[in-house]
Amino acid sequence: MEISTDQDIAKLKALKKMKASALSLLGFAVLLFIIAIYFKIPMLQAFSEAAMVGGIADWFAVVALFRHPLGIPIWHTAIIPTKKNEIGENLGNFVSEEFLDKEKLEIKLDELNFATKASDWLSEEENANKIANVVSVNIIPGILKAIKDEDIKRFIQVQFKEKLEGINFGDWVALALEPLQKGNMKDQLLTNLLEVMSSELTNNKDLIRKKVKASTPLLSFGLADKSITEGVFNGLQDFLNEAKNPGSAVRVKIDEYVYDFLEKIKNSEEMRVKINNMILSFVGRKEVQDYINGIWDEIKLSITNDLEKGDDSSIKNSISSLIQTFGNGIKEDSVMIDKINNFIKNDMLSVLLNNKKVIGDLISSTVKSWDGKEVSEKLELEIGKDLQYIRINGTLVGGIIGLVIYGVEQLYHYFII
């Protein structure tokens, strides 16, 4: 058997020490026997003889459990390695019948009070930090490495597209613009818009001149540029100034156009379809798609950078806080504790009772699959130290019984013979 752990090494040393103690006591009994014979001490001889018999008999019994004494294949020795299969089968039946009993299991599960113990454990900051550390150091980075960026980006694009296709933007636009048909909001908005256009026209007069110059014939030598520019600028400015006047013909025409446009959006299905298609076509542009793809890259980078902060990670601290809050919440909710305990109790009872034969067979088959010699050596390592007390007690008790028998014999000879 291989000794691989410090614990096994310590057990082996303790076993050898106890074996040496039991053997030393038996050797001492042999020495007493020699002294008794040499000096003709009957009482000491009786004690030492019985002690040797008791010590040797118990040595034989203990050794016979694990191997053949002195390597001699005596009948009914090396019980554990030779009877391994029967032991495994009996152990499996014992566990399934005695331990997996409904009444006993119910008592143990009631005593367990899993929900309270779990909530107490989770509410401790140290324990919550341990779980959060496992999640932030192992689970989350593992998930980020396992999933493919292309799949996530494709998933986001599909979901984004499906959500947009499920929205009727025509209705939204109609609903948003409906207030423009009522009260003074439309007039005020239109006036403000015309004011902005007038201001921009003034600010871009030089640009208009350049555009006009680029469009006039070269033979004019720029003589017509100024007059044409002034004509275009003044014409546009007059148009905007007239449009600002709510009672002007231009303003009436603009009002009619806006009203007709709003009515089409509100009542025309065709117009709503056009609005939807225009927005969806905008979403399909490369710039928008690149932005959507960049969402996952930004999320992944943010998560990775945060987790690299260790104890200062906001994700880790949030998980730890959430776990503690969860534990405290359960601890303070007696109804939830009862529900959890009852669920675990009923579920575990169902699983254990329905599979008690399977569990027994598993124990039996597992023991049968073990190597007999290794099982014997392992068991001796675990319980052999305590069994050496049988040898020690056998030697001492045997000696005492020898003295008792010797005393009875002496009394018999004294009083009867």
Q: Residue 62 has what pLDDT?
A: 93
Query: Hey, what amino acid is at 291?
Result: Y
Tokens of 198: 């007038």
Is there a single domain that holds both residue 60 and residue 168?
no
The answer to whether position 87 is within a domain reads no
The answer to whether position 225 is within a domain reads yes
| Cβ–Cβ < 8 Å for 236, 197 | no
* Banded pLDDT at 42 (limits 50, 70, 90): very high
Tokens of 397: 């008790």
Is there a single domain that holds both residue 283 and residue 384?
no
Q: Residue 176 has what pLDDT?
A: 65
Separation between Cα atoms, residue 34 and residue 402, nearest integer Å: 16
**Domain region containing 287:** 163-292
* Banded pLDDT at 396 (limits 50, 70, 90): very high
Whole-model pTM: value is 0.48
Q: Residue 216 has what pLDDT?
A: 60
**What average pLDDT does the segment 208-213 reach?**
69
Q: Which of 84-93, 284-293, 346-355 has the lowest mean pLDDT?
A: 284-293
Task: Name the average pLDDT for the chain.
Answer: 82
Is there a single domain that holds both residue 172 and residue 270?
yes
Separation between Cα atoms, residue 232 and residue 404, nearest integer Å: 140
C-alpha 225: how far from its chain's center? 77
**What average pLDDT does the segment 198-215 reach?**
73
The answer to whether position 174 is within a domain reads yes
The answer to whether position 29 is within a domain reads yes
Q: Residue 245 has what pLDDT?
A: 75
Domain endpoint, select from 292, 318, 343: 292
Separation between Cα atoms, residue 133 and residue 80, nearest integer Å: 46
Q: Residue 238 has what pLDDT?
A: 78
Domain endpoint, select from 266, 292, 318: 292
C-alpha 239: how far from its chain's center? 71
| pLDDT of 221 higher than 60 | no
| Cβ–Cβ < 8 Å for 388, 22 | yes
The answer to whether position 308 is within a domain reads no
Q: Residue 219 has what pLDDT?
A: 41
The answer to whether position 357 is within a domain reads no
Sort 286 into a burial class: Cβ within 10 Å, 0-12 / 13-18 / 19+: exposed
Domain endpoint, select from 250, 275, 292: 292
Is there a single domain that holds both residue 180 and residue 59?
no
Tokens of 342: 């009852």
Q: Residue 214 has what pLDDT?
A: 67
Q: Residue 220 has what pLDDT?
A: 47
| pLDDT of 255 higher than 70 | yes
| Cβ–Cβ < 8 Å for 92, 360 | yes
Query: pLDDT exceeding 90 applies to what percent of the chain?
Result: 24
Classified as helix, coil or strand, 182 is coil
| pLDDT of 227 higher than 90 | no
The answer to whether position 28 is within a domain reads yes
Is there a single domain that holds both residue 167 and residue 288?
yes
| pLDDT of 224 higher than 60 | no
Is there a single domain that holds both residue 375 and residue 287?
no
| Cβ–Cβ < 8 Å for 100, 375 | no
Number of domains in the chain: 2
Give the residue among 270, 321, 384, 320 at the shortest CA–CA distance from 11.
Answer: 384
| Cβ–Cβ < 8 Å for 82, 372 | yes
Is there a single domain that holds both residue 174 and residue 283?
yes
The answer to whether position 305 is within a domain reads no
Contacts of 125 (CB under 8 A, 6+ apart): 320, 324
Is there a single domain that holds both residue 77 and residue 171?
no
Classified as helix, coil or strand, 101 is coil
